[in-house]
Structure 1
Amino acid sequence: MVKKINTVLMDVGPLISIDGVVIHNDAGSGSPERYVNWLAGRNKDLGIAHYYITKDCIARVIDTNLIGYHTGRWPSNQRYIGYEVCQSMSASDADFLANEDMTLMQAAEDLLFYGLPINGNTVRLHHEFVSTSCPHRSMALHGNSTESVKQYFIDRIKYFASLGTTVDEMLAKQGQQPVDVAKTQQEEEGEEIMLMVRSKSGKQGYVGLVNGSAFGIGYIETVSTFMKAGAKEVTLPDDDFNRLIESQKIDEKTLVSINEISKKIS
């Protein structure tokens, strides 16, 4: 059984209609439990979805009939339920796909509950509403186009909906985890997941992520060293980059170092 957390961290009124679901990637490495605690004290105007999900936990922080601040546009915030697939900057591909599948199961449950069809009008991506790389990890894994990712999500949601009307029924019918989360041989031997992340504008320097731990990078040579060691480079829109920094709770000293080195890297 997947762990479930149901709480209400924001209530600014009901949705004027429920038109569908929007899938996000969190640009972070936190667990749903961590997001619940973090969001509780955060300014909700900065963004908050209805759900934060991994393969192990589904946290609903806004009731699905209430408005969330997740699309970047008021009209769509009033009409869509938002889902954050967590740990998009730290999970292995296998674990991220499992997190993604659990998210799509919950989306399937909600679409069935509200009597909505499962199609391109009801299953949406964050970047369909505003200019953002979100859902960046899902894009990289499923064809890197809006059409391919949406079709993948639609097909998965339809499959899960064929198994039952609730997440618990879907998991029971499937008889196993959403995807095979067995580690690859390299991961079992301790392979590190390394990312070099920077903002699109280049106003800030690189932030390194190794197995979910963030750190500032003071020299471009360090970036080159990590890239040669197999790190992947990720460029995020400034808003998403700032959200990554917030979600990591990087200390102020590190943030200062990131800002100070931007000229060296630009």
Structure 2
Amino acid sequence: MASENDYINYEMQKRTEPLLGVVIHNDASELNANEWREVLINAPEERYVQGIAHYYIDRNGQWQAIDTENIAWHTANQIGNEQYLGYEVLESLSSTDEEFLLNEQETFRVIASDMIDYNLEPNRDTVKLHLEFSETECPHRSFEIHTNWKTTVDGIPDEWVINDLKDYFISQIKQYMLN
């Protein structure tokens, strides 16, 4: 699927506060970008309130659900929603590790482009994880693969584990910013 900019059929509020960074999510589903588009593009507001990110990304493509100038409801937290862009790494429940890693890489590429556009430097303040804003296991699959922390068994990770994953994400995003 090529990048789509046919946003959801609902007008999200424009961001009035400065953009502070990005939040990386794992979607906790088996859906790819095309399937998420079908589920969300004409969904009712009640569905969006449950959570919706700016981007849905897999190794075969991406769907941008919301313009980056608008707020998304992706962190269950006012600052996270209003001042951070949300990126869903897809197929966290259905892909092999190799496929999921490719989905992550595509996500890092998109994030790098947006960080360049918004003049943001990848660091621990600008690159956040969903669980830093609300009580969740997200990004569960990324934790498992990169830190061997299983949020379903081990619970919310310690700060050093969170920073370990963030440092990996930051290094990957920086690589795409250099190219």
Unaligned 5+ segments in structure 2 are 150-160
Task: Give me the whole-angstrom Cα distance separating, in 2, the residues matched to 1:11 and 1:155.
Answer: 34
1:153 maps to what in 2?
169
In the TM superposition, what is the alpha-carbon distance from 1:47 to its structure 2 partner? 0.7
* 137-146 vs 122-131, greater mean Cα deviation: 137-146
Post-superposition offset of 1:58: 1.1
Matched, 1:89 2:85: no
Find 1:63's aligned residue among 38, 63, 67.
67
Work out whether residues 5 and 65 of structure 2, in 8 Å CA contact, stay in contact via their aligned partners in 1. yes
Q: CA deviation at 1:41?
A: 1.8
Deviation beyond 4 Å, 4+ runs, structure 1:
none
Alpha-carbon separation, structure 2, partners of 1:21 and 1:107 = 8
Counterpart of 1:78 in structure 2 is 82
Query: If each structure's strand is expressed as a fraction of its own residues, which one has the higher value?
Result: 1
Distance 1:120 1:75 in 2: 16
Write the distance in 2 (CA, Å) between the matches of 1:31 and 1:95: 11
Name the counterpart of 1:28. 29
Shift of 1:31: 1.1
Q: Distance in 2 between matches of 1:69 and 1:57?
A: 22
Under a length normalisation based on structure 2, what TM-score does the superposition of the two structures give? 0.87
Q: How far off its partner does 1:148 sit?
A: 1.1
Aligned-residue Cα RMSD (Å) equals 1.1
Q: SS of 1:77's equivalent?
A: helix
Q: Quick one: which amino acid aligns to residue 146 of structure 1?
A: I
Which structure has more RCO (C-alpha within 8 Å, separation ≥ 6)? 2
User: Is 1:52–1:83's contact at 8 Å kept on the other side of the alignment?
Assistant: yes
Match of residue 157 from structure 2:
none
SS at 1:58 equivalent: strand
The count of corresponding residues between Structure 1 and Structure 2 is: 162
Deviation at 1:161, TM superposition (A): 0.6
Partners of 1:59 and 1:8 in 2: how far apart?
8
| AA of the residue aligned to 1:103 | T
Match of 2:111 in 1: 107
- Hey, what's the Cα distance between the residues in 1 that align with 2:64 and 2:58? 12
Residues 194-214 of structure 1 deviation map (CA, whole Å, 9 limit, x = unaligned) = xxxxxxxxxxxxxxxxxxxxx
User: Higher Cα Rg: structure 1 or 2?
Assistant: 1
Q: Distance in 2 between matches of 1:72 and 1:12?
A: 15
Contact 1:6–1:60 under 8 Å retained in 2: yes
CA distances 1:93-138 after superposition (whole Å, capped 9, x unpaired): 0000000110011001000000011111100000000110000000
Following superposition, the deviation at residue 12 of structure 1 comes to 2.5
Q: 1:11 touches 1:67 (CA, 8 Å); kept in 2?
A: no
Q: Which amino acid aligns with 1:67?
A: I
